[in-house]
Structure 1
Amino acid sequence: MVQFMKKQSFRSTRLDRLGSAIFAEVAQWKQEAKSKGLTIINLDIGSPDQPPVEELRSALANASLRSDTYRYPGTEGTLAFRQTVAKWFQHRFGVELDPHEEVLSLMGTQDGLAHLPLAISDPGDAALLPDPGYPVYGAGLAVAGVEAIPLPLLEENGYLPDFEAIPQSIWDKVKFMILNYPSNPLSATADLAFFERAVHTARKHGVLLVHDNAYSEMAFDGQRPPSVLEIPGAFDIAIEFHSLSKSYHLAGTRLGFAVGNREVLSSLRALKNNIDFGVFLGAQEAGIAALEMDIRDSKPIARVYESRRDVFVKALHEQGWNVPTPSATMFLWARVPEGWSSRAFSQSLLTSTGVASIPGNAFGSLGEGYVRLAMVEPEHVLLEAAQRIGGFIRTAQPE
């Protein structure tokens, strides 16, 4: 064993700024539940339980068999992938993209969202982040030394921000703001009128608008969520992230893309040129097949989750938990029963019944009092989960 002459700490203080370690905690709660003999129903992490359709698996398999697939792929993504993204974007949103300057491949949207603050900000800068919001937003800022300023999202406002309520002193210090519709964890959606206000606000205050649109293809009841780039002038002040993880069940391939403002994408590309060599070429081939398939004959994965939503929400109502009906994503966002905190409810539910969820305060302070359930199990398993939850809320006492 190596002996150090002086006491060293091999843990960066940045790690202490990354926020909640709730996913590791939930893993510990699962072990406790298993030790009691409980079967776990995993409704915590939004990892699709189904594989991609055979056409996409074949595209990945065929690419993997080619001898030229194993070279370094290039940070920006193959021209074929970027051209297909541009073709799909025109088909889906009616927006024209330059595949050379306005499309950048990513190892999933989390890759781009985590690295963006390092590419466009300096320590001491500030950004507006949705509260509640996806944890990687804050993690990226913490690593970059950028101040996170919460952008409150309230149930009574449909989980849309009130831009006018933000003081000018905040706008003066903010470099960019992040929006996310359809929203994880809130399952809220936004229309073009909202994005018109968002673009106007960003232009007025001279801030970059970053839109996480990872769930654009997972809306229900006939909704077709828009792109912020549909708004005239948005390319001047906005970029948008998209993912193939949920829409096509390609989560494990780690493939997404960023589109929009050329200068911002150039900065992100410059950073990534120094830290990675891009997305595996086989994954990009699968992505091309997915987008081409969607253009040719769209059969949204959203239909699967809409059916699960209908079954799960109905079953929970019958069990006495009147949760709201989500309008998009694979998540259900609901108030915990009276008397419970988010964390206590989530932990007790798991250790008592085996049903895993994520407490709402893991997504920000305004998530306290809520819990997120991911509908990533077949309908018969969701029915079982509803029965277990119903028994719990009828008999368990708040801690």
Structure 2
Amino acid sequence: MKQFQPARVLTELPTQFFASLVQKVNKVISAGHDVINLGQGNPDQPTPSHIVQALQEAAAEPIHHKYPPFRGRPDLKEAVAVFYEREYGVKIDPETEVAIIFGGKAGLIEMPICFTNPGDTILVPDPGYPDYWSGVALAQAKMEMMPLLAENDFLPDYSSIAPETADLAKLMFLNYPNNPTGAVATKEFFEETVAFANQHDILVVHDFAYGAIGFDGKKPVSYLEAEGAKETGIEIYTFSKTYNMAGWRIGFAVGNPSVIEAINLLQDHMYVSMFGAVQEAARQALLQPQDCVDELVAMYESRRAALVAACHEIGWHVKAPAGSFFAWLPVPEGYTSQTFADLLLEHAHVAVAPGIGFGEHGEGYVRVGLLHTEERIREAVSRIARLEIFQKPLTT
């Protein structure tokens, strides 16, 4: 069969690192082993029933069988504005400051395409969500990595970025609560970010995928809560984590009107909006009582406590994440993140995500998802304990 060669931009896309993890896990499963997969980022709970019911009822309405408005339903955008004022005290103009997007990932990948030209510089967190790299590659831009180090609470240190690099940067990705580290940002850090962005004329794109998931009674801070944030960028929010709607592929961007207009323009040419019934269900998710979100966060917090306690019992000195549904665990001496992950999968049948998959500064860690029951999490740590890697239990 004749083979057609794809465009160079496709051949230069980054390798999907986690596709290889899935293959390794499936190989062990096919050999008949019970694998506890802590390496995934896929929510394990169903979408709340009232949201599902809203979809079912809306799907029967003939109005939703037609093409929906190109730029999303106005009543969904109004719901987004209500949600942001209620949750964060931020006023949003639904007509000019909201774009409906096909999941958070799509919005993130669209940003470099909308705002950079080939060769332009984009500041990217390291470690960070690997799909940032995909958008950079599609735009044929280049990345300058911002190290996220434990000694700086996994926040970028803007003073360490060379002024000439900052002046060249057109766009910057941030993500708090953070994937993969579980770190959170403060309003003061976001105010510092606004000042840095203004000084160097940088568009800030804050990935707020885990915006609902904060622990110890602390609500994650929205970038838009910082004074002047709307002047410097946008925030991208997804329904996937807050409402367990990962398979529904819906999210939104809020913030600077010129950025929102560019997103809408690109999507005008790529899509004809999304199924109206999905938009109606999303609207109900935002406007109905948020008890389901509170219950979800409490469940993740209980799982976090179970993981940390179990790790400490076997002598694995880990720190509890402050947000997200991930924990960022240090690799024991003598291993790389990849060799440690391979060891756990092959000999304990526990899958974790090696930190190197998130960038150079992810080395030395593995990412663990709080996406199994407490019983399965404790079982995973018990299996690891039997490898006798951690010899000295912690004392309190």
| C-alpha separation in 2, matches of 1:298 and 1:338 | 38
1:17·1:139 contact (CA, 8 Å) conserved in 2?
no
State which of 268, 277, 287 in structure 2 corresponds to 1:273.
268
Q: Which residue number corresponds to residue 191 of structure 1? A: 186
State which of 50, 55, 70 in structure 2 corresponds to 1:55.
50
Distance 1:212 1:300, change over 3 A: farther
State which of 44, 50, 71 in structure 2 corresponds to 1:76.
71
| C-alpha separation in 1, matches of 2:351 and 2:38 | 5
Q: Which residue number corresponds to residue 24 of structure 2? A: 29
TM-score (norm 1): 0.94
1:60·1:286 contact (CA, 8 Å) conserved in 2?
yes
Secondary structure, in 3 states, of the residue corresponding to 2:236?
strand
| C-alpha separation in 1, matches of 2:25 and 2:294 | 35
Per-residue CA deviation, residues 162-213 of structure 1 (Å, 9 max, x unaligned), is 1111111101210011111110001000111111100011001111111111
Per-residue CA deviation, residues 348-377 of structure 1 (Å, 9 max, x unaligned), is 211222211111011111001111011111
Q: Which residue number corresponds to residue 306 of structure 1? A: 301
Per-residue CA deviation, residues 80-101 of structure 1 (Å, 9 max, x unaligned), is 1100000010101111111011
TM-score (norm 2): 0.94
Q: Which residue number corresponds to residue 387 of structure 2? A: 392
| Letter matched to residue 24 of structure 2 | W
| C-alpha separation in 2, matches of 1:18 and 1:387 | 39
| Letter matched to residue 119 of structure 2 | G
Q: Which residue number corresponds to residue 291 of structure 1? A: 286
| Letter matched to residue 335 of structure 1 | P
| Letter matched to residue 35 of structure 2 | I
1:1-399 maps to which residues of 2 (within 5 A)? 2=1, 4=2, 10-294=5-289, 299-394=294-389
User: After the TM superposition, which segments of 4 or more aligned residues of structure 1 sit over 6 Å from their partners?
Assistant: none
Secondary structure, in 3 states, of the residue corresponding to 2:9?
helix
Of 41-50 and 345-354, more deviation after overlay is shown by 345-354
| Letter matched to residue 80 of structure 1 | D
CA offset at residue 378 of structure 1?
A: 1.2
Per-residue CA deviation, residues 254-303 of structure 1 (Å, 9 max, x unaligned), is 11100000111111111111111222222211211111124688635211
Distance 1:153 1:16, change over 3 A: farther
Distance 1:12 1:369, change over 3 A: farther
Distance 1:319 1:296, change over 3 A: closer
Per-residue CA deviation, residues 5-32 of structure 1 (Å, 9 max, x unaligned), is xxx5534443443334222211221133
Distance 1:44 1:92, change over 3 A: same
| C-alpha separation in 2, matches of 1:25 and 1:211 | 28
CA RMSD of aligned residues (A): 1.8
Secondary structure, in 3 states, of the residue corresponding to 1:100?
coil
